[in-house]
């Protein structure tokens, strides 16, 4: 075998031979490979050996004694020997032209990583790729189109059929009508999640395939360090503007648990998803000042809470290192395959959550639990200067973030919300706990303890910020 041709430094070869003799159980790998893995302190294998091998202690002693003969960690010594071998193979096999001409991709690379040109390029890509394409076209145009189709063609049929087949109103409501599994759960999944996520993954696959994402990470790393994240966290944060649920899922790619917690918190708190963003932009776009205040508060909260949590959370700060692949023109087939596979995988994971939301709404209405919560929320609404009617918007906002925003839209059109109330409501609702899908994803990815801690912080914080903003706007006499 090829691997046997690598000659490691003498003490390592000796240790390999000794460990090989001590291994008694059969494994899938050769004993030489096992010995090498053990010398590199492979944790999974060490744990397995501890259970299976009678000579475990002796093996540990050999590793320890071998380590004493080197200044560097054994894994380093082993990798160096391999590197030397690889270099020799390369020298034999590869003929290379001496002069490497600066190609067009090199030029583009320089443009994208130089902060002077790179940062404007970054904003252009995020603006057109994410905001325009996914936000405006996907979350706006496409969602409207599919949702209107559902409301005009599918929901009436479902309602009618259910009414005829099921005699009990209670059960009808579970499947059809305003909050039914099909008329709400499936409709949301198909009409909102599907187009947004599809376009998002499409854009994301293009960026990924072109090799741009690592460049985005390296540009932003320093800024993100301030809020306790590394450049790596750019990807989930950018994804969050598409859908926070999927972004929460993607935080699993981050290095440290600390970084994953900070990213999850920021996603839940300050990053509005595209559906929510669409409605809020629509709502506030008549008042540029209101929009500015909303955006300013969000950015401030994002930075402040990120900074504070990075100061307070224990643990090692995240380091940043990333391979920078060459820029390439993405291949259509790659992009389509990736988009499709991710969509399918995401859809399967998210669909049950939407159905669950329908069932929970059904139970909540049936048992009167919702009325109770809404009654409880009403004084809070008055406290932050909103009409009591807004309570319902907040409760439903939990089941679907943009549903809350859409409810706000109704209140606005009926003239119940006006002026600064709109801004206060938009800010509170954006900060407010994420939708139920994201909440379940948090439970799944971060566990109950962290999720409850994050929720316990976000709930009062959102209302406190609403109160503070309302207070400030009133004191300063700002009106729209």
Partner 1 sequence: MEASAKPLAISLYNMRPGEKGIVAYFNTKDEAIIKKLMAMGVIPGLPIVLEQRFPSFIIKVGRTRAAIDQDIAKTIYVRLTTGK
Return the number of the residue (32 or 225) whose C-beta is nearest partner 1: 225
**Phi and psi for 258 in degrees, rounded to 5?**
-60, -45
Return the number of the residue (22 or 327) whose C-beta is nearest partner 1: 327
Return the number of the residue (231 or 407) whose C-beta is nearest partner 1: 231
Return the number of the residue (75 or 455) whose C-beta is nearest partner 1: 75
Least spacing, CB of residue 19 vs partner 1, in Å: 20
Which spans of this chain sit near partner 1 (rule: CB under 8 A)? 41, 71-73, 75-76, 79-80, 83-84, 87, 113-115, 214, 217-223, 225, 230-231, 319-326
Give the C-alpha distances (Å, rounded to integers) separating 257 from 251, 393, 465: 10, 34, 28
**Phi and psi for 378 in degrees, rounded to 5?**
-55, -45
How many CB atoms lie under 10 A from the CB of residue 52?
13
Tell me how far apart the terminal alpha carbons of the chain are, to the nearest angstrom: 77
Least spacing, CB of residue 39 vs partner 1, in Å: 13
Return the number of the residue (322 or 459) whose C-beta is nearest partner 1: 322
- The token duo for 77 is 């010594």
Least spacing, CB of residue 3 vs partner 1, in Å: 17
Least spacing, CB of residue 76 vs partner 1, in Å: 6
Instruction: Give the Cα separation of 181 and 175 in Å (integer).
Output: 5
Least spacing, CB of residue 368 vs partner 1, in Å: 54
Instruction: Give the Cα separation of 359 and 354 in Å (integer).
Output: 9
The answer to whether residues 383 and 374 touch, using CB atoms and an 8 Å cutoff, is no
How many CB atoms lie under 10 A from the CB of residue 376?
11
Return the number of the residue (67 or 287) whose C-beta is nearest partner 1: 67
Least spacing, CB of residue 10 vs partner 1, in Å: 15
Least spacing, CB of residue 88 vs partner 1, in Å: 12
Q: How far is CA 93 from the centre of its chain?
A: 43
Instruction: Give the Cα separation of 342 and 337 in Å (integer).
Output: 9
Return the number of the residue (105 or 479) whose C-beta is nearest partner 1: 105
């Amino acid at each position: 075998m090829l691997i046997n041709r690598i000659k490691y430094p003498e003490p390592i070869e000796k240790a390999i031979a000794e460990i090989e003799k001590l291994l008694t159980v059969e494994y899938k790998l050769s004993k030489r490979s096992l010995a090498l893995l053990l010398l590199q302190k492979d944790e999974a294998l060490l744990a397995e050996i501890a259970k299976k091998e009678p000579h475990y202690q002796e093996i540990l002693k050999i590793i320890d004694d071998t380590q004493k003969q080197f200044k560097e960690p054994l894994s380093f010594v082993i990798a160096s020997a391999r590197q030397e071998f690889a270099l020799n193979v390369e020298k034999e096999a590869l003929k290379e032209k001496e002069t490497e001409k600066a190609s067009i991709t090199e030029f583009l690379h320089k443009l994208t990583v130089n902060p002077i040109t790179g940062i404007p390029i970054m904003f252009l890509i995020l603006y057109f790729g994410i905001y325009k394409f996914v936000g405006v076209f996907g979350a706006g145009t496409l969602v409207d189109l599919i949702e209107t189709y559902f409301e005009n063609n599918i929901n009436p049929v479902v309602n009618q059929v259910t009414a005829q087949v099921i005699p009990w109103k209670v059960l009808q409501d579970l499947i059809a009508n305003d909050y039914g599994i099909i008329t709400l759960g499936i409709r949301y999944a198909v009409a909102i999640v599907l187009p947004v996520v599809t376009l998002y993954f499409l854009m994301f696959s293009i960026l990924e395939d072109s090799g741009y994402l690592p460049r985005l990470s390296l540009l932003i790393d320093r800024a993100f360090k301030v809020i306790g994240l590394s450049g790596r966290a750019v990807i989930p944060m950018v994804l969050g503007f598409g859908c926070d649920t999927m972004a929460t899922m993607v935080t699993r790619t981050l290095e440290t648990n600390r970084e994953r917690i900070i990213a999850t918190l920021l996603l839940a708190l300050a990053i509005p998803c595209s559906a929510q963003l669409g409605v809020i932009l629509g709502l506030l776009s008549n008042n540029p000042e209101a929009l500015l205040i909303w955006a300013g508060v969000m950015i401030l909260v994002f930075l402040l809470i990120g900074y504070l949590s990075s100061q307070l959370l224990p643990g090692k700060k995240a380091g940043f290192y990333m391979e920078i692949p060459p820029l390439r023109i993405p291949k259509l087939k790659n992009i389509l395959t990736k988009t499709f596979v991710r969509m399918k995988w995401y859809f399967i994971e998210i669909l049950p959550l939407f159905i669950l939301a329908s069932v929970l709404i059904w139970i909540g209405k049936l048992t009167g639990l919702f009325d109770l919560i809404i009654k409880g929320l009403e004084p809070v609404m008055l406290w932050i200067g909103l009409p009591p009617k807004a309570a319902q918007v907040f409760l439903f906002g939990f089941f679907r973030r943009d549903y809350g925003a859409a409810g706000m839209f109704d209140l606005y059109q009926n003239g119940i919300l006006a002026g600064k109330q709109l801004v206060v409501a938009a800010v509170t609702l954006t900060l407010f706990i994420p939708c139920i899908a994201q909440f379940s994803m948090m439970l799944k990815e971060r566990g109950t303890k962290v999720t409850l801690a994050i929720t316990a912080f976000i709930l009062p914080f959102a209302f406190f910020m609403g109160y503070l903003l309302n207070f400030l706007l009133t004191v300063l006499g700002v009106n729209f």
